[in-house]
Amino acid sequence: MILDELALKYSSDKSSSFHNYTKYYNLIFNDIKDNSLNILEIGVATGASLKMWKEYFINSKIYGIDIESSCKKLEEDRIKIFIGGQDDPNFLNKTKSEIGSDLDIIIEDGSHYSVHQINSFKLTFPFLKSGGLYIVEDLHCSYIPSYRRGESIIGVNFFKSLVDELNLNGKSPSCNKEFMANKELTISQLEKENKPINYYEKYIESILFFPSMCIIKKC
């Protein structure tokens, strides 16, 4: 069964009948769906998405995070749910310890508040394996005043700013003669030469934007 059919089966709002995120998920997940993966979704609600992921990723473990304690009852074989705040560092670190290994995929579908989207990314992106994917959903909420909560930076602008983080620092200074003479300089060489390498420049391989979604791949 294809992913959108599963989304419709479980009434997930990721389906073509609502957000249509499955259209883009199919592009990035199709080649890895049979792998053994550790997948975390932030935001459980009715558990529809977790059930969809379980049936789609047939060899994977599915984890969920939600602040509502009632979500715990939605656990089943290959689905484990943790109760706590999506931007609580102590809770998130404890959750990571209980999972016991780095994650292959993190999907942020929590409160949709910009502050939570930003803080959840900052806190959990380090939990990903090399080559792992971090997906932020519902970025259209950045344009809805009630989801901004007076924050100085909205969610979509934060993730757009990561494009600058990847391009404006140590490994991309086109005006640097040394760099232009040797375009094969590695990050480790640049660090030894005290070039400015920030965290995101070092650990983000690529960033994709789709309608209401941002997909970030870890180096």
Instruction: For the chain, give every domain's residue range.
Output: 3-162+203-218
Contact 195, 168 (CB under 8 A): no
Q: In what order do the strands lie in the sheet with 61-66?
A: 79-83, 61-66, 38-42, 103-108, 128-136, 213-218, 204-210
- The CA-atom distances, in angstroms, between 178 and each of 167, 171, 193 are 17, 11, 11
Residues marked active site are found at 112
Tens of pLDDT along 7-41? 999 999 999 999 999 999 999 999 999 999 999 99
Contact 73, 49 (CB under 8 A): no
Residues with Cβ < 8 Å from 49, sequence gap 6 or more?
Answer: 7, 10, 12, 14, 41, 43, 107, 109
Residue 196 has pLDDT above 70, yes or no: no
10 Å Cβ neighbour count for 209?
14
User: How far, in Å, CA of 51 to CA of 76, rounded?
Assistant: 9
- Banded model confidence at residue 146, pLDDT cuts 50, 70, 90: confident
- Banded model confidence at residue 187, pLDDT cuts 50, 70, 90: low
Quick one: which of 67, 104, 111 has its CA closest to 119?
A: 111
b/e per residue 177-188 (b: at least 16 CB within 10 A)? eebeeeeebeee
pLDDT of residue 173: 45
Tens of pLDDT along 58-86? 999 999 999 999 999 999 999 999 999 99
Contact 104, 128 (CB under 8 A): yes
Tens of pLDDT along 125-145? 999 999 999 999 999 999 888
Q: Which CATH architecture has domain 3-162+203-218?
A: 3-Layer(aba) Sandwich (3.40)
Contact 136, 122 (CB under 8 A): no
Quick one: which of 98, 113, 64 has its CA closest to 84?
A: 64
pLDDT of residue 165: 82
User: How far, in Å, CA of 154 to CA of 150, rounded?
Assistant: 9
